[in-house]
Amino acid sequence: MAHRVIPSFDRLAFVASDTEEAQEAHKRLVELYGHAEPEDADVIITLGGDGLMLTTLHAFMNTDKPIYGMNRGSVGFLMNEFRYDALRERLANSVVTAIHPLIMTAVDAAGTSHAARAINEVSLLRQTYQAAKLRIAIDGKVRLEELICDGVMVATPTGSTAYNLSAHGPILPIHAPLLALTPISPFRPRRWRGALMPNRCTVVIEVLETEKRPVSAAADFTEIRDVVKVTVREDHKQRSLILFDRDHNWDERILAEQFRY
């Protein structure tokens, strides 16, 4: 993760979800600040929830266009507070962070290799009523010979507050050089609750008893069915840029989330 200075906020592009609330905000903000096409803009403003932010971060990966979200959705953990006023001033005072995605390489039962990137997480999930049976290796060393579960995921700091949190995985500060390996409903070993790994690690997950216990793999919203082997690592050569208000940044949200009860 790295910080950089954004030189200008003259040309703003607005992207909104399909909800009435987001569309109304889009119309008013264009009236107030004008609208540039995304390819010509200095910054892209997303109006919606975390799903729209995730889609936009994927779409503008490696363009060095910063993405600033304002919450017009439900959860909005990746979004800033919505306000009409002083937008350019907020942008000028915001903090930019570079997010590096995961790269998933999944081999299916036919031997075909598929590649996809994930900003939040790569997850493996059982496809039928049978629990998945998995073997997990990190940097070439098998760490878990057999995990019987509904699934398992590798989550980034950005994704640690999404599916990972719902599966009782740890919340990670956005600048932490870590990945979370989190099981989903583990049956055996019953007490294993996951692991934290340096983000330089490569995780290989093999599916055992593939015909009896089929498994799918998903990198954010790209799903591959009937996988037999999945390799996950952070792709340091790729990045997306996200902006947070300085007075309500990611670190503050992480702390607040951990003290919810």
What per-residue confidence (pLDDT) applies to 256?
74
> Is 40 a residue whose pLDDT tops 80?
yes
Catalytic residue among 10, 18, 42, 50: 50
What per-residue confidence (pLDDT) applies to 3?
46
Region 3-15: what's the mean pLDDT? 74
State pLDDT tens for residues 78-110: 899 999 999 999 999 999 999 999 999 999 999
Region 215-238: what's the mean pLDDT? 97
pTM of the prediction?
Answer: 0.89
Q: Tell me how far apart the alpha carbons of residues 255 and 247 are, in angstroms, rounded to a whole number.
A: 14
For the chain, give the secondary structure using H, E and C: CCCCCCCCCCCEEEEECCCHHHHHHHHHHHHHHCCCCHHHCCEEEEEECHHHHHHHHHHCCCCCCEEEEEECCCCCCCCECCCCCCHHHHHHCCEEEEECCEEEEEEECCCCEEEEEECCEEEEEECCCCCEEEEEEECCEEEEEEEEECEEEEECCHHHHCHHHHCCCCCCCCCCCEEEEEEECCCECCCCCCEEEECCCCEEEEECCCCCCCEEEEECCEEECCEEEEEEEECCCCCEEEEECHHHCHHHHHHHHHCCC
What per-residue confidence (pLDDT) applies to 2?
45
Q: Tell me how far apart the alpha carbons of residues 169 and 192 are, in angstroms, rounded to a whole number.
A: 12
What per-residue confidence (pLDDT) applies to 249?
67
Q: Fold for domain 12-100+239-258?
A: Rossmann fold (3.40.50)
What per-residue confidence (pLDDT) applies to 76?
73
Question: What percentage of the chain reaches a pLDDT higher than 70?
Answer: 95
Is position 108 annotated as part of the catalytic site?
Answer: no
> Is 17 a residue whose pLDDT tops 50?
yes
- If one compares 41 and 191, the residue with the highest pLDDT of the two is 41
232: β partners: 104, 203
Q: 251 falls in which pLDDT band (50, 70, 90)?
A: confident
Domain 102-234 class, CATH top level: mainly beta
Mean pLDDT over each residue of the chain, to the nearest integer: 92
Domains 12-100+239-258 and 102-234 share a fold: no
Q: 261 falls in which pLDDT band (50, 70, 90)?
A: low
Q: 7 falls in which pLDDT band (50, 70, 90)?
A: low
> Is 74 a residue whose pLDDT tops 80?
no
> Is 187 a residue whose pLDDT tops 50?
yes
Domain ranges of the chain: 12-100+239-258, 102-234
State pLDDT tens for residues 131-162: 999 999 999 999 999 999 999 999 999 999 89
Region 23-38: what's the mean pLDDT? 95
Q: 47 falls in which pLDDT band (50, 70, 90)?
A: very high
Strands across the sheet with 113-118, in order? 113-118, 102-108, 227-234, 203-207, 132-138, 141-149
> Is 64 a residue whose pLDDT tops 50?
yes
Choose the weakest-confidence range: 8-12, 55-59, 237-241, 257-261.
257-261
